Amino acid sequence: MYLFQTAKELQNHIQNLHQQGISIGFVPTMGALHAGHLSLIEEAKKIADCSVCSIFVNPTQFNDPKDLEKYPRTPDKDAQLLESVGNDILFMPTPEEVYPQGLNTHLELDFGTLAGVMEGAFRPGHFQGMAEVVKRLLDLVTPEILLMGQKDFQQFTIVKHMIKQLAMPTQLVMGATVRETDGVAMSSRNVRLSPENRSKAPVIFETLQWAKKMLRTLPLKTIQEMALQKLQSVGFEPEYFEIVNTDTLMSINDPLDATAIVACTALWAGGVRLIDNVILTD
């Protein structure tokens, strides 16, 4: 596996690959890698000739400085895991490489309501920072294919919108959420859960699956209210449990209002913020 820390080294190498007609599948991450990230690398290797993984804890997408400070960083273990799945290139830039002085990386994009709901409502500025870093990384890596997880459904939708708005020559592919055996969605933040909260965490996926089962049985408002209660009943503090149109991310009142519907939730388990979602329609 090649390891590059500067944009210049990475770009030189990638230019070479492109000249040889080698296609690139790119997986941007913030590190503390787990099987969810690795499944995206494995998928990248299947659908492109060469996989590139970036590890960069992007300061501009953290609205809470404490969250940024506490974000787990395990670079050596990450490199080993990437080697174990045969990843081709690891890009681990410093903030100065991603945001060099004098370069305007600011992105003026209108995400409309996509970025105002759910995560956007509770993490102001998060999606602006996320989109800026994804755009900057896409400009450096120039991949044919970008792979992102369903786990961050709203992030995926916003990146899809950005690629379309900027007419970027990149195909966006969604990877399924990888879960622990008890249903908990893998997340770099799970290591910060107390043993007690970790043991309660399966309630999140259980509640999402329950919502799927109830889709055509109970009014959506009732499903939403009961889901919030289920999450609260174990001591978690949900920020939202929304049932929305997969394209517009707008709340729906009736299952017939959209062809595809997703339930998304975010909650606090102790001091740890977790998100998850399940597509409710088949």
Measured from the CB of residue 255, what is the shortest distance to ligand AMP in angstroms?
Answer: 26
CB atoms within 10 A of CB 107: 15
Distances 23 to 121, 126, 146, 177 between C-alpha atoms, Å: 37, 30, 11, 25
Contacting range for ligand AMP; rule: CB under 6 A; set: 31-39, 70-78, 224-232, 254-262: 31-39
Choose, by CB under 6 A, the member of 10, 14, 30, 44 that binds ligand AMP.
30
Choose, by CB under 6 A, the member of 151, 198, 230, 273 that binds ligand AMP.
151
Contact between 29 and ligand AMP by CB under 6 A: the answer reads yes
Choosing from 18, 37, 106, 126, which is the catalytic residue?
A: 37
Q: Are 217 and 250 in contact (CB under 8 A)?
A: no
Residues in region 183-212 near ligand AMP by CB under 6 A: 185-188
Contact between 143 and ligand AMP by CB under 6 A: the answer reads no
Distances 164 to 99, 119, 272 between C-alpha atoms, Å: 24, 21, 33
Residues in region 55-74 near ligand AMP by CB under 6 A: none
Contact between 36 and ligand AMP by CB under 6 A: the answer reads yes
In the annotation, is 106 catalytic? Answer: no
DSSP 150-165: GGGHHHHHHHHHHHHH
Q: Are 179 and 185 in contact (CB under 8 A)?
A: yes
Contact between 148 and ligand AMP by CB under 6 A: the answer reads yes
Site string for ligand AMP, 168-187 (x = CB under 6 A): -------x-xx------xxx
Contact between 140 and ligand AMP by CB under 6 A: the answer reads no
Q: Which is nearer to ligand AMP, 66 or 216 (by Cβ)? A: 66
Q: Which is nearer to ligand AMP, 151 or 200 (by Cβ)? A: 151
Provide the sign of the torsion angle of the four alpha carbons 14, 20, 21, 25, taken in this order: negative
Strand 50-55 versus strand 24-29 pairing type: parallel
Q: Which is nearer to ligand AMP, 146 or 231 (by Cβ)? A: 146
Q: Which is nearer to ligand AMP, 187 or 224 (by Cβ)? A: 187
Gap between the terminal Cα atoms of the chain: 39
Say what the alpha-carbon torsion angle 190, 115, 204, 270 is, to the nearest 10 degrees. Answer: 50
Contacts of 115 (CB under 8 A, 6+ apart): 127, 128, 158
65-70 contacts at long range (C-beta below 8 A, 24 or more positions apart): 67/273, 70/192
Choose, by CB under 6 A, the member of 7, 10, 14, 40 that binds ligand AMP.
40
Structure tokens at 238: 């949900």
Contact between 228 and ligand AMP by CB under 6 A: the answer reads no
Contact between 93 and ligand AMP by CB under 6 A: the answer reads no
CA angle 118, 119, 121 (to 5 degrees): 65
Measured from the CB of residue 21, what is the shortest distance to ligand AMP in angstroms?
Answer: 27
Residues marked active site are found at: 37
Residues that bind ligand AMP (CB under 6 A): 29-30, 36-37, 39-40, 148-149, 151-152, 175, 177-178, 185-188
